Structure 1
Amino acid sequence: MKSQLFFPILDIDTICRCIPQRPPMLMVDGLLAYAEEGVTSSFRIKEDNIFVQDGFLQDVGLIEHMAQSVALHTGFGYFLRQEEAPIGYIGSINNLDIHELPSVGEEVNSSVQIIQEFSGVTLVEIETKIQDKVIAKGQMKTVIAK
C-alpha cells in the first residue's frame, strides 16, 4: 500500500529528492500544492541567502526561485514514480515582470501553470506572490538534460 501524501510538504529532504539544487543554491523550501497541470511552491527569504543584498532578494534570486519551482513540478512527478529527478536548464524567459523584491523574512509563493510539455521541454506561466500581492510573473521554458 502506498503512503498518502499530505500538503504542504515542508521536509527539506523530500524537496531535495525532487530537485538537483542544494544549499546555498536551494531556492524552494516547500511544496504547497501539486497537480499534473501545475504546482505551488514556497520559499522563505533568509538573511544569509547568497542572492540577498541590502535586505532584499535580488531579481536573479527571484528568477532562480521561479525556475526551481518549475523543476519541483517535474521532479515531484519523478518522485511519485520513485525515479530520480532529472537535471534541467532554463531554455528561455519571456514577458518577465518583476514588480517588487521580497525582503528578508518574507515568504514568496510561486504558482506554476503548465502550458505545454513535450519531449523534455516544458513551457509554463509563473506567478509569484507575497501573501496575495503579485510581485512577479512571466513565462519560462525549461529543458531536461539528456
Structure 2
Amino acid sequence: MQTIDLLASELLPHRAGMLFLDRALEGDDNCITACAQIKENHLFAQDGRVGSWVLLEYMAQTMAMWTSWNARKKGLPVPVGFLLGTRQLKLHVDSIPVGTELYCKAERIYVSETDGVAQFQCEVYADGKLLGEAALNAFEPKNPETFLTEH
C-alpha cells in the first residue's frame, strides 16, 4: 500500500453536508483506505448518533475515492459515478455515536473499462470492530452530461 494522505475534498466532488470522509490514507491498484470522524453537525445525526444505514454512504464515498485517486494518478479529471446498488449489506450495529472515528476500506472486485460498471467490497470499522460491510455496484458513464440528459 502506498501512503496517500489527501483530503477527501481533493478526491471527491461531494460538498457541504454530503462530504462524509475526511482523508484518504493509503491505497494501491485494488484498494483504498480512508478515515472520517462523525461530527456533531453530521447531516443525519440525531440525539448524538447516526443510524448505521449511513455507513452505506461512507462505503460509496470510499469506493469513489479509489476511482478518483486512480484517475488523478493518470492526470485525468475526477470522474462522475453513480451508485447502482448493493448486495450482501451487513450492518453489525444499530447506530454510531457522534465523535466516532471511522476507518473505511474499499477493495476492487471488478471494474470494466468498456461499459463503466464496477463492484467493490467495502468495510467500515471503529476501534477495530467491523460496523458494516457490503458489495457495492457502481456505474461511471463515459459522458455523464449526455447520459443524464438522455436517461
How far is the alpha carbon of 1:45 from its aligned partner?
Answer: 0.3
Residue in 1 aligned with 2:126? 130
* Residue 42 of structure 1: how far off its partner (Å): 1.0
Correspondence 1:95 to 2:107: no
1-side partners of 2:79 and 2:52: how far apart? 25
Q: Deviations over 1:35-87 (max 9, x none)?
A: 11111111100010101122112234221111000000000011112221111
Please give the alpha-carbon distance, in whole angstroms, between the structure 1 residues aligned to 2:13 and 2:105: 20
Q: Matched residues in 2 for 1:110 and 1:87: separation? A: 21
Aligned length: 138
| Residue 32 of structure 2 is aligned to residue 36 of structure 1 | no
> Kindly, what percent of the aligned residue pairs are identical?
24
Partner in structure 2 of residue 23 of structure 1: 16
Q: Tell me which structure has the larger Cα radius of gyration.
A: 2
1:2-30 deviation line (CA, Å, top 9, x unaligned): xxxx7351x53xx2231111121001111
- TM-score of the superposed pair, with normalisation by structure 1: 0.87
Using structure 2 for the length normalisation, give the TM-score.
Answer: 0.84
Structure 1 equivalent of residue 148 of structure 2: none
Kindly indicate whether the alpha-carbon contact (under 8 Å) linking 1:7 and 1:32 is maintained by their aligned counterparts in 2: yes
Q: Which residue type is aligned with residue 35 of structure 1?
A: D
Which residue among 111, 114, 123 is the counterpart of 2:108?
114
Cα distance between partner residues in 2 of 1:64 and 1:126: 11
Corresponding residue for 1:3? none
- Name stretches of at least 5 consecutive residues in structure 1 with no aligned partner: 1-5
- After superposing on structure 2, the runs of 4+ consecutive aligned residues of structure 1 that deviate more than 3 Å are none
RMSD (Å) for aligned C-alpha atoms: 1.5
User: What pairs up with 1:39-50 in 2 under 5 angstroms?
Assistant: 39-50=32-43
- Flag structure 2 segments of 5+ consecutive residues without an equivalent: 144-151
CA distances 1:87-139 after superposition (whole Å, capped 9, x unpaired): 11111111101112321111111111111110321111111100210010111
